[in-house]
Structure 1
Amino acid sequence: MRRLALCLSAVGLTASMLTGAEPAAAGTPVTWTSTFQGTDGVTYSATNHLVPASNGPGRQWMLVWAGPAKQPAPDFLTVIDATPGSPTYGKVANTVTVGPNNGNEPHHMQYVWHKGDRIYAGGIMSDTTFVFDAKALPALTIAGVNSTVDTPCGTLPDAYQVLSDGTAYGTYMGGPNVTGPCTYTNGQVRVGNGAAGSPGEIVRIGPDGRTLAEIPAATEAGEDPAQCGNVPALPAATCANPHGVAVREDLNVMVASDFAEARNFMTPDSVLKENLARQTVRVFDITDRNNPALRSVSKVADGPRGAQEPRAFFRESRVVMETALTNRPGHKGAFVSSMAGGAVFYTPDITAPAPQWKEVFDDTTAYRSFQRDTGVTGSGDNGSWLAVSPDDRFLFHTVMGQSVPYGKPLDQTTGMIYVLDIQKLLAAGNGAQCSVDELAEASRGGHERDCPELVSTVPIRDVSSGGPHWGAMDNFRRGADGVYRETQNVSRIAVANYFVAGSFGGGGDHRVCMFDLDRRGQVSLDRSFRDENTGKPCVGFNRASWPHGDTGDAQPHGVLFVVSDSVVRR
C-alpha cells in the first residue's frame, strides 16, 4: 500500500483526492476512492479494486466500460492487461466502480486515446458523462462529471471525440430534458419533444466535466417532415439525432451521423417506423470551438438492394449510426455506415458546401465471403463501429448480425468484423467513380476500379439477441526501449459483443475479443487473449465474481487502448 501511495503522489494525486485507502489482506483487492462534487450537488465517486495483475512495471491496458446484467450493482470501468507476452495478458487488473447511482447503462468512450487525454465515458440512460484521469494506470481517478442538469438541451450521451486541448465534443442523441423551447449557449432556440426524443445536440465538455457549450444540431427552419418524423410532432420537423462523431481539427470540421428518435426503439417489439430511422449527416465548422456552425445537412440514399426489401426500415440508407474521417493531409474524404441498412457510403470532400454521398460497399459482400445462405444480406444486420486506420489504408467495420426485429433465426446469422482497402478510392480524390448502384454489386463489390477491396472478414458468432458492436484500434507500438509511441500502422483491434439489452438491436454474449491485423490488412483472432476463468479466447464478462464483488454477469460496451503514463511518449 505504501508503494501505491508513493506512485499516486508522484503523478499528482494528493491525499485529499483519496478516501478509505486501507492495507489489504492477502488475496483481497487494494481499494481506494476518489470523489468529485457535481454541479447538481451530488458527490460522485470512483473506487479502484486493484488485484495482483495490476502489479509490475508500466504497460498497455484495455479499458472496458461495463454495467451489471442485473441490478442493483454498480457500473464500472474494467482495466485489463493488454500487453502481449505479459504473464497476466487478458487478466482483469482493476475494476473502478462509479457511484452513487447505478443503472447508467455504460455506453461509449472516445474512439482513440492519446497520452495525456482524460477518459470520457457516457451513461446513456442516466444522461451522464464521467471524466477520469488516467495518469496512474492501472488506477483511475474521477476528474469530472457532467450530469443531466449540465445539458438541459440534450439527453442520451453517445460518442466522444477528444480535441488536442483536452476538451471533448460529445453527441447527445436525444431531445431536451423537458418538452418545449430550449436555449443553447449561443442564444439560439429550438423546440424539442423531450428526453430521448428530438432534437439532439453536440456538447463541448471540459476536462473537469463542465459544459463549455451546448450546440444545436437541428436547423432553425426545420427539415422534411415526411422524412424526419417526430413523436410527438414538432413545429419544425428534425432528423437531428446525432450518434457517431468525427473531427478533423486541421480542417476545422466536425461530422455527426444521425441515428433515430431513440425512445421509440427501446424494446425488441418496437414498431419500426421508417420515418424515425435517420438518413442524414451533419457537418459543422468548428473554427470557433465553443460555437460550431452547422454547415450542411446531407442525406444518403437507398441502393439497389433496397428495391428488393419490402420494409423501408431495412433499406441501405436507414439508421446512419457511424461516421469516420480520413486522417492524412490532402485527404478530405468521409465515410458513414447504416445500422439497419447494412451499407457504407463515401464522399470525397467533407468540406464541400453540400457533400454528395455514394454507396461504396454493401455488407452483403462481406457475408458472401463466408456465408452461403443468400438470404443473409446487409438488411437489418446492425452495422456498428466504423474507423479509418491512421495511415488511411484501411476501413474497419463491425457488424452485430441480423437481429430479432429483422426476423432471421439467430442460429443462421452471425456478427463479423471486416476490413476494406480504401487506398484506390482515396487516391481518386474528387474524381472517385465507385458507386454500388447495381444489384450484383451488392453481393460482389463495386465494379469500378477505385471501389474498396474486401481484404479480410472474420465471423464473430454470437447467437444471443445482439453481437459484436463496438471496437477500438490499438494505435500504439512498443519500441525496443520498452517505451510506447503512437503508430500509423494499426496491429490490433478490440471488439465488444454488446449493444443495449432490451433494445431493438439486442444485447450480446458479453465477450471482449482481440484481433491481430497484419500489414496486408488480414485479421485473425488473438487466441492468446484468453479469459482467466474459462481459458477460452476472448475475455468473458459473464462471470460470478469481480474484484469489486460477486455482482455476476456484466455488459461490456465501450473499449479503449491506453498506456501507463511512465512508458508512453507522444
Structure 2
Amino acid sequence: MNRGILSLGLAILTVGCASDNSDFLAGTRQNAGPAPLLYIWAGDLDRGASDSDFLAVIDSDPHSPSYGEVLATEPVGVVGTNPHHTELSVPTGAALLANGYDAGRTFMFDLSVPDAPRLVDELAPVPGYEFPHSFLRLDDGQVLATMQYGDGSVPGNPGGLVRFDKDANLISTTSAADPAFEGEQIRPYHVEVIPASDRVVTTSRTMRIFTEQAADVVQIWRLSDLALLHTLQVPRGEPTSSPECVFGIGDICEAGQYPAEAQPFESRVMNDGSVLMNTLMCGLYRMNGIDTSEPGIELVLNYPNLFGCSVPTTIGDFMVLPVMFSETILVFDISDPTDIKEVSRFDTPGYQPHWAATDPGASRIVVTSSGMAPTYTVLIFDFDAEAGKLSLDESFGAAEFPRAGVSFYRESWPHGDTGTAVPHAALFGYR
C-alpha cells in the first residue's frame, strides 16, 4: 500500500460550517433515531503471522433481528499496531482516521458504504514529528492531530499540534515546546477546540508510562494559526497512598503516591466555553478564561480512591466517565460548569470500562474495555436523562459482561479465523 496521501476517490460533499461540526460529521444526527451501526477499532490479541488488526462493524439497531452481530470487518494487513484512538464521529466525504499507536501509523477507512468499510490509505509521515495520537475534525473538514514526539532535536523531545486538510494532506505544524518549560517531556495527547474563542486545548500524557514521566500540563493554542499561547501547570492535588505503583515513575512511583494532577488525559468543552479535563488519576479540572491573556485552571473534584479515569462522553447535561482500574462508570451533571456534581455510578466488577461514546440519535452510550485485562467485550447502556443514570442493555449481544455485551473472544471473524481481539475506539454510524 502506498503510504503517501492518495486521492481517495470519494464523493466529496460540499458542506457548510456549524459550531458543533454537525454538517460535516455524519455521526452527529440529533433525533435521527438509534444509530444502526457501531464501528469498533480492534487489535488482534495473539498476533499470529497471518492475523491483522481491523475495523469491525456491529449491528446496533435495537429493532434489527441481527442486533449485536458482527456484520463486517476490514483488516489493515498488519498486527500489533495497538489500535487506539479514532475520530470521535464519522466524517462525511472523507476517510475515517484510526491510529495504531505503537506502530506510529494511522489508517484511513472509506465508510461511503457504511456496512462495508474499506481501507484506502495511511496518513503520511509528518516531517519532524512521530507518533500521532488523537484527531479532531473541524467544521470545514480539516483535522487537528496531536503528535506525541518531535525529532529529538529539542531537550525533552516535545511533540506538537498538526493541521491536515479534509483529505489528510498536511497543512501546518507547531511544536509544543515552551521556553518556560524547557526540557520538559510535553506529550500532546487529547485535542479539543473552541471555535467561538479561536482556541484549541491539548493535554499532555505519555503512552510510554513505564519509561518516562510526561509533563503534567495543558496547553492553549490559537485555532486560526496553531500558535502556542499558554502552557499551564496542572495544579497539584493532595497525593494519596497506593499499595502498589501501577502508573507512575520516578518520585511518584517510589513514594507509591498518585496526586490528582498526574497524567492529564481527556477534556470536553462545556456549554459556557470552559473546558472540563480529567486526569488518569481521577482529578477533574476546569479551565476558564481560555480566550484571555490569563487563563485559569482549578481542581473541582478529586477521587483519591479511584484511578484510571479514561475517555468520557457527554450526553445532554451530563458527562459519563469510565474509570477502568476501579471498574466503575461515573455520571456527572455538567449543566452548570461552575458546579459539577456526581449524580450516579454504575459499577462493573470484573470489567474495566475505558472508552465511552454517545449515540447521536438516541439516549444510549457504547463502552469498550481496557486492553490491560481480559475483559474484551463491547457494551451498550441506555441513559435516563431525568435521573442521570445508566442501565445495561441486556439485549445487546450474547451474555458476556456477565449479563450482556458483544464478546471479542471469538475464533472467527468475517476476515478469517484469527481468534480473540481487543476492542478500543468505538463510534456510532448511519447508513
TM-score by length of 1: 0.64
Per-residue deviation, 1:308: 5.8
Aligned equivalents of 1:132, 1:37: Cα separation in 2: 14
CA contact (8 A) 1:468 1:508 kept: no
Per-residue deviation, 1:303: 2.2
1:215 is matched with which residue: 169, 174, 177?
174
Equivalent position of 2:24 in the other structure: none
Provide closer, same or farther for how the CA distance between residues 259 and 459 of structure 1 changes in structure 2, counting only shifts above 3 A: same
Aligned equivalents of 2:342, 2:118: Cα separation in 1: 42
Matched, 1:512 2:424: no
Answer with 115-124 or 61-70: which moved more.
115-124
Per-residue deviation, 1:494: 0.9
Mapping of residues 335-414 of structure 1, within 5 Å? 335-339=276-280, 341-363=281-303, 377-378=305-306, 381-389=307-315, 391=316, 393-401=317-325, 414=326
Provide closer, same or farther for how the CA distance between residues 204 and 532 of structure 1 changes in structure 2, counting only shifts above 3 A: farther
SS at match of 1:125: helix
Aligned equivalents of 1:474, 1:278: Cα separation in 2: 34
CA contact (8 A) 1:471 1:495 kept: yes
Aligned equivalents of 2:108, 2:141: Cα separation in 1: 11
Aligned residues: 391
Per-residue deviation, 1:455: 1.5
Matched, 1:456 2:344: yes
Equivalent position of 1:38 in the other structure: 3
Matched, 1:497 2:384: no
Mapping of residues 281-296 of structure 1, within 5 Å? 281-288=218-225, 292-296=226-230
Answer with 89-98 or 131-140: which moved more.
131-140
2:404 is matched with which residue: 521, 525, 537?
537
Greater RCO, CA 8 A, separation 6+? 2
Equivalent position of 1:368 in the other structure: none
SS at match of 1:555: strand
Provide closer, same or farther for how the CA distance between residues 312 and 259 of structure 1 changes in structure 2, counting only shifts above 3 A: farther
1:258 is matched with which residue: 179, 199, 204?
204
* Cα RMSD, aligned residues only: 2.6
Runs of 5+ consecutive residues of structure 2 not aligned to the other structure = 7-33, 243-251
Equivalent position of 2:14 in the other structure: none
Provide closer, same or farther for how the CA distance between residues 158 and 548 of structure 1 changes in structure 2, counting only shifts above 3 A: same
Provide closer, same or farther for how the CA distance between residues 535 and 356 of structure 1 changes in structure 2, counting only shifts above 3 A: closer
Equivalent position of 1:13 in the other structure: none
CA contact (8 A) 2:174 2:228 kept: no
Per-residue deviation, 1:106: 0.8
Counterpart code for 1:282: Q
Aligned equivalents of 1:40, 1:524: Cα separation in 2: 43
Equivalent position of 1:167 in the other structure: 142
Equivalent position of 2:27 in the other structure: none
Provide closer, same or farther for how the CA distance between residues 96 and 192 of structure 1 changes in structure 2, counting only shifts above 3 A: farther
Provide closer, same or farther for how the CA distance between residues 94 and 116 of structure 1 changes in structure 2, counting only shifts above 3 A: same
Per-residue deviation, 1:533: 9.2
CA contact (8 A) 1:131 1:208 kept: no
SS at match of 2:296: coil
Aligned equivalents of 1:507, 1:468: Cα separation in 2: 10
Provide closer, same or farther for how the CA distance between residues 387 and 255 of structure 1 changes in structure 2, counting only shifts above 3 A: farther
CA contact (8 A) 1:97 1:548 kept: yes
Per-residue deviation, 1:300: 1.6
Answer with 138-147 or 467-476: which moved more.
138-147
Matched, 1:87 2:65: yes
Per-residue deviation, 1:516: 0.9
Q: Deviations over 1:517-546 (max 9, x none)?
A: 112221111111113899951111111111
Provide closer, same or farther for how the CA distance between residues 462 and 174 of structure 1 changes in structure 2, counting only shifts above 3 A: farther
Counterpart code for 2:368: A
Provide closer, same or farther for how the CA distance between residues 143 and 248 of structure 1 changes in structure 2, counting only shifts above 3 A: farther
Provide closer, same or farther for how the CA distance between residues 419 and 111 of structure 1 changes in structure 2, counting only shifts above 3 A: same
Aligned equivalents of 1:362, 1:168: Cα separation in 2: 32
Q: Deviations over 1:369-408 (max 9, x none)?
A: xxxxxxxx03xx111113333x4x112211111xxxxxxx
Matched, 1:468 2:394: no
SS at match of 1:385: coil
Equivalent position of 1:68 in the other structure: 44
SS at match of 1:514: strand
Provide closer, same or farther for how the CA distance between residues 492 and 114 of structure 1 changes in structure 2, counting only shifts above 3 A: farther
Matched, 1:237 2:174: no
1:418 is matched with which residue: 330, 333, 338?
330
Aligned equivalents of 1:297, 1:323: Cα separation in 2: 15
Provide closer, same or farther for how the CA distance between residues 347 and 209 of structure 1 changes in structure 2, counting only shifts above 3 A: closer
Provide closer, same or farther for how the CA distance between residues 342 and 471 of structure 1 changes in structure 2, counting only shifts above 3 A: same
Aligned equivalents of 1:117, 1:476: Cα separation in 2: 21
Matched, 1:130 2:89: no
Per-residue deviation, 1:498: 2.2
CA contact (8 A) 2:184 2:215 kept: no
Q: Deviations over 1:238-289 (max 9, x none)?
A: 24201111112232211110003x43x3xxxx47x7xx1432001110113x
Aligned equivalents of 1:40, 1:137: Cα separation in 2: 22
Matched, 1:323 2:267: yes
SS at match of 2:79: coil
Aligned equivalents of 2:196, 2:43: Cα separation in 1: 36
Counterpart code for 2:166: P
Equivalent position of 1:228 in the other structure: none
Aligned equivalents of 2:346, 2:389: Cα separation in 1: 9
Counterpart code for 1:126: A
CA contact (8 A) 1:170 1:245 kept: yes
Q: Deviations over 1:89-125 (max 9, x none)?
A: 11100001112x3322110111233554531110101
Provide closer, same or farther for how the CA distance between residues 80 and 40 of structure 1 changes in structure 2, counting only shifts above 3 A: closer
CA contact (8 A) 1:81 1:93 kept: yes
